[in-house]
Amino acid sequence: MTSTYLEGKDNAFAGFGYNRDRKRGKLQIVVGLLCNAAGYPLAIEVFPGNTQDTKTFASQVDKVAKRFGGGAITFVGDRGMIKGPQIDALHDQGFHFITAITKPQIDALLTQGVLQMSLFDAPLAEVTTSEGQRYVLRRNPERAKEIAASRESKYRALNKATVEANDYLATHPRANPDTQLKNLRGRAAKLRISGWTTFNLEGRVIALGEDPEALAEAAKLDGCYVLKTDLSQTAASKDVVHDRYKDLALVEWAFRESKTVHLEMRPVHVRLETRTRGHAFVVMLAYTIIRALAALWRDLDLTVQEGLDQLAALCLSEVLLPGRPLAYQLPTPRDDVQKLLDAAKVRLPTKIAPNSSPVATKTKLPTRRT
């Protein structure tokens, strides 16, 4: 999944995320979600699963330019979202961009002397080239620790596999050491640590080691990332550029909530294109309610799901008196439920008139369709 935010001249933000998802069997759909600064959805769009990201991105740029009025807009997207064709589409509409570059691109800039490793030692550094291209650099120390721990964990797993291979060779005299060596090298490649691990076969014993220089080269950019933008320093400082890029987490949170946490967009049990779009639209509306409840209940020390579980305790009492029509009465809610209602500024009626309109349940709906 990739995400995009856009900043307008009135400090309004919006985000767009792509998410390829299974519809039925091998069929897929691409869901695009456009959000404002607080993460509330503005629009959702569904594309066929074979639609290229460049085409879906261009559709969103066109939507912002025409449907939402355009203006001084800056799209912010991760390194998989905004590339050459997307940048051209933005410039055609007079928009700007903030994105991240890949590690090979960082290495190339270091080789060319545009960037220096010492810049990553600063809390937040900036480099502007003679062509006016701006780069904002940062090293996240916590992320660097996570990457180092992951690398060490992979090395331990490879070392365990090496010990097992040596035990096998020791107990099976007819086993081929070259076969075990090949398997271990394949394991290292699968773990993506083959660039700095070494193997030495002496007789029937395989020794695992590290290449210090290669390991240092592989670890030098741990936790480092570089942002790229065409905004001027007057339009946005390096801190603003960095903060807006970090806001991409809002769109990612929206997809996570919509897909797996509360709403479970998957699986899509419809086949027609219009119904698939309708399904995604209903999920977007439900996500809007979840966002609103999360904001209203943020001081109550509970999750949205926990709050909904408490509200499920609400029930109606049926009142049937001789000679009078049927009525429903709502008992006084428990204290914990009342706190949820007060936080949401909801006042429940004491009496509810019966609804004479037929309700189509999931069981009855197929027989009532015309």
The tens digit of pLDDT for each residue in 55-82 reads 677 777 888 888 777 677 788 877 777 8
Q: What percent of the chain has pLDDT over 90?
A: 37
- The answer on 82 and 115 residing in a single domain is yes
- The answer on 262 and 192 residing in a single domain is no
User: Does some domain include residue 308?
Assistant: no
- The answer on 203 and 110 residing in a single domain is no
- The answer on 134 and 68 residing in a single domain is yes
- Distances from the Cα of 93 to the Cα of 44, 64, 74, 90, 179, angstroms: 21, 10, 11, 5, 59
User: Does some domain include residue 306?
Assistant: no
- The answer on 230 and 215 residing in a single domain is no
**What pLDDT score does 3 carry?**
45
Average pLDDT in the 164-188 region?
95
42 or 210, which is more confident: 210
Q: What is d(CA 328, CA 267) in angstroms, rounded to the nearest whole number?
A: 37
What angle, rounded to 10 degrees, do the helices at 273-296 and 304-311 form? 90
Domain that holds residue 343: 315-370
The tens digit of pLDDT for each residue in 277-313 reads 787 788 888 888 888 888 899 899 888 888 988 988 8
Tally of structural domains, the chain: 3
**What pLDDT score does 248 carry?**
77
Q: What is d(CA 13, CA 71) in angstroms, rounded to the nearest whole number?
A: 12
User: Does some domain include residue 295?
Assistant: no
- The answer on 234 and 215 residing in a single domain is no
- The answer on 250 and 363 residing in a single domain is no
Average pLDDT in the 26-46 region?
66
- The answer on 15 and 89 residing in a single domain is yes
Answer whether residue 225 shows pLDDT above 50: yes
User: Does some domain include residue 328?
Assistant: yes
Average pLDDT in the 320-341 region?
85
**What pLDDT score does 24 carry?**
43
Q: What is d(CA 77, CA 16) in angstroms, rounded to the nearest whole number?
A: 8
- The answer on 236 and 271 residing in a single domain is yes
**What pLDDT score does 54 carry?**
62
User: Does some domain include residue 298?
Assistant: no
User: Of 203, 219, 235, which residue sits at a domain end?
Assistant: 219
52 or 314, which is more confident: 314
The tens digit of pLDDT for each residue in 179-210 reads 999 999 999 999 999 999 999 999 999 999 99
- The answer on 25 and 169 residing in a single domain is no
The tens digit of pLDDT for each residue in 238-255 reads 999 998 888 877 767 666
- Coil, helix or strand at residue 7: strand
Single-letter amino acid, residue 209: G
User: Of 171, 200, 219, which residue sits at a domain end?
Assistant: 219
User: Does some domain include residue 293?
Assistant: no
- The answer on 267 and 205 residing in a single domain is no
Task: Give strand pairing partners of 135.
Answer: 127, 228
Residues 6+ apart with CB under 8 A from 251: 3, 4, 5, 15, 16, 17, 33, 35, 39
For the chain, the average pLDDT equals 81
User: Does some domain include residue 303?
Assistant: no
- The answer on 49 and 196 residing in a single domain is no
pTM of model > 0.75: no
**What pLDDT score does 284 carry?**
82
**What pLDDT score does 101 carry?**
92
User: Of 219, 240, 267, which residue sits at a domain end?
Assistant: 219
